[in-house]
Structures are given as structure tokens and as C-alpha cells.
Amino acid sequence: MLLVTAKLMCNPLFMNRIGINLFGYDLLVTQSAFTYGLVFVMTDLCAAVFGLRQAYIIILFAMLMDGIYSFGIYSVSFFSIPSTIDPQYLDVTQAIHTLSMPTLTLFSGGAIASLITYLAEVTLFSFLFKRVFKENLFLSSTVAIASTILFHNLILYPIAINDKANLWKYFWGNFILDMAFVIVYTLICSFFFKRGNRKKIV
């Protein structure tokens, strides 16, 4: 549920641009940087606990839910705004109508790339987890996510971000923030994963 929730939050938050001052350096980021890494961490945790096949199924399920959510938001454009609407509701109604098409476009434009990215990341994680880092969740997840996000954003950002003058500021700003949150999320998951393994041994 946490994975699907984080996935659904990414698209609307991606449309909100914010500025953050990090150690004196001004970063331009999309607000989705707070939740984007959590999707990967949850799929990695799922692969570690239940296996790679189950992680694939959950990724497909999350993408389906994202599609239903995006189309649900888009469906408001099928209905006209009533001329007699109360002014206090007019701003909210116009806002959701304005977001309806970009929400669906963001999902449909990046659905295939996102699906490939999630599947590739969890596959890389599974390889690192079993073969390289010997079931170290933190190292396996952090390395796999960092590698995947770099390539994913390199392909997606030139398409999704119209502000070409600040494109690389968004690219590096989001990557730094993504990884900062990924490290926090992965540390938390690693703690509970290790505790769970200890209980199994005992």
C-alpha cells in the first residue's frame, strides 16, 4: 500500500516546482523528489523478502493503479463547469480541470519508460543483493537506485520539463534530493529487515 501510495503521489507532485537551499546552493526541484525514491526502496524490500517474481507483480499492479488514478483525474474534463457554481468552489474546480490533461499526459508519456525503469532497477537490485553485496539491503538498494535514477532522468527530463534553461538544475537538484531521501528510506528498511532476519534465526 505504501508503494502504490508513493507511486500515485509522484505525478501530481512532479508538476509542482520548488526551490531548496542546500548548504548555500540553490536547488530547483520537483516536489516528487520527496516520494520518488520510496517507490524503488519498497520494490527492493519486496524483492528481498518475497522474491523477484513477486516484486515484478507488485510493480505491474502499481502501474495499473497509476493508470486508473490518472484516467480518473482526466475524466473531470468530460464534464463542463456549471455556470451557476458557487464562487468558493470555482477556483478548486478550475484547478482540477487544468490538471486533468497534464496528469494523463504525464502518465501515458512516461508509462513504458517508468515500467522498464522499475523492472530494471529491481532486477539490478536482486543481482547486487544476491551476488555482490551478500544480502546487504542498504548497499544493494542504494547503488541500484542511484544508477537507475541517473539513466531514467537523463531520458525523461528533456521530454517532461519544458524549462530547458534550468533543465540541468532540475536534473541534479532532483537527483541529490532523491538520493538523500533514498538513503533515509533505505536505512529505515534495512533496520527492520535485519531485525526480521534475526528473529527468523532465533
Q: What is the pLDDT of residues 129-164, one digit of tens each?
A: 999 998 999 999 999 999 998 887 787 777 777 777
Helices (H), the chain: 2-14, 36-50, 52-74, 87-127, 137-160, 167-201
Mean pLDDT of all residues in 158-187: 83
* Sign of CA pseudo-dihedral 183, 188, 191, 193: negative
Give per-residue pLDDT as tens, 57-112.
Answer: 999 999 999 999 999 999 998 988 888 888 888 888 998 899 899 888 888 877 88
| Residue range of the domain that includes 84 | 2-201
Out of 24-28, 132-136, 139-143, 168-172, least confident range: 24-28
Residues ≥6 apart with Cβ < 8 Å to 141: 40, 41, 44, 45, 125, 129, 182, 186, 189, 190
Q: Is 3 helix (H, G, I), strand (E, B) or coil?
A: helix
Integer angstrom CA distances of residue 102 from 2, 63, 77: 24, 17, 11
With vertex at residue 118, the alpha carbon angle to CA 116 and CA 120, rounded to the nearest 5 degrees, is: 65
Q: How far apart are CA 55 and CA 40, in angstroms?
A: 10
| Structural domains counted in the chain | 1
Q: Are 186 and 143 in contact (CB under 8 A)?
A: no
Interatomic CA distance for residues 12 and 70, integer angstroms:
9
Residues 6+ apart with CB under 8 A from 102: 15
Tell me which residue has cell 521530454.
Answer: 159
Structure pTM? 0.82
Residue 123 sits at φ, ψ, to 5 deg, of -70, -45
SS3 85: coil
